[in-house]
C-alpha cells in the first residue's frame, strides 16, 4: 500500500511539467512575423539596423525600436500547448512616416 501511495505522490509531483513547442519549430514562425512586419513598413525596411531575436525587437533608424510580444492566454493546468503567435506591440517611433 505504501508503494502505491508513494507512486501516486511522485506522479502528482511530475504532472505539472510544461511542454513547449521546440525552438526549432517556434523560432522560424517568430522570425517570419518580424520579417513580414519589416517588409510591410518601408521606413523600417529602408533604415533597418538589426533584429534582436532574443528580445523580440527590430531596431531601425537612429534610436527606433519596434517591440513584439505574445498575448497572454489562459491554459488549463496541465494542458500545455504551442505559444501564442508573436505580434507587433509598439514602437517608440512612427513606423509608417519619415
Cα–Cα distance, 77 to 59 (Å, whole number): 37
Q: What is the pLDDT along the chain (98 residues), one digit of tens a residue?
A: 776 766 656 655 654 444 466 778 888 999 999 999 999 999 999 999 999 999 999 999 999 999 999 988 776 665 666 788 999 999 999 998 76
How many helices (H) does the chain have, and how many strands (E)?
Answer: 3, 4
- Whole-model pTM above 0.85? no
User: What are the grid coordinates assigned to 56, written together?
Assistant: 523580440
User: What are the grid coordinates assigned to 63, written together?
Assistant: 534610436
Amino acid at each position: 500500500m505504501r508503494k502505491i501511495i508513494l507512486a501516486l505522490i511522485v506522479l502528482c509531483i511530475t504532472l505539472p511539467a510544461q511542454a513547449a513547442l521546440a525552438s526549432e519549430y517556434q523560432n522560424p514562425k517568430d522570425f517570419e512575423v518580424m520579417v513580414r512586419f519589416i517588409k510591410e513598413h518601408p521606413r523600417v525596411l529602408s533604415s533597418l539596423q538589426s533584429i534582436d531575436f532574443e528580445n523580440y525587437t527590430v531596431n531601425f533608424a537612429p534610436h527606433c525600436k519596434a517591440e513584439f510580444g505574445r498575448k497572454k492566454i489562459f491554459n488549463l493546468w496541465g494542458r500545455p500547448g504551442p505559444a501564442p503567435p508573436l505580434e507587433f506591440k509598439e514602437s517608440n517611433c512612427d513606423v509608417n512616416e519619415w
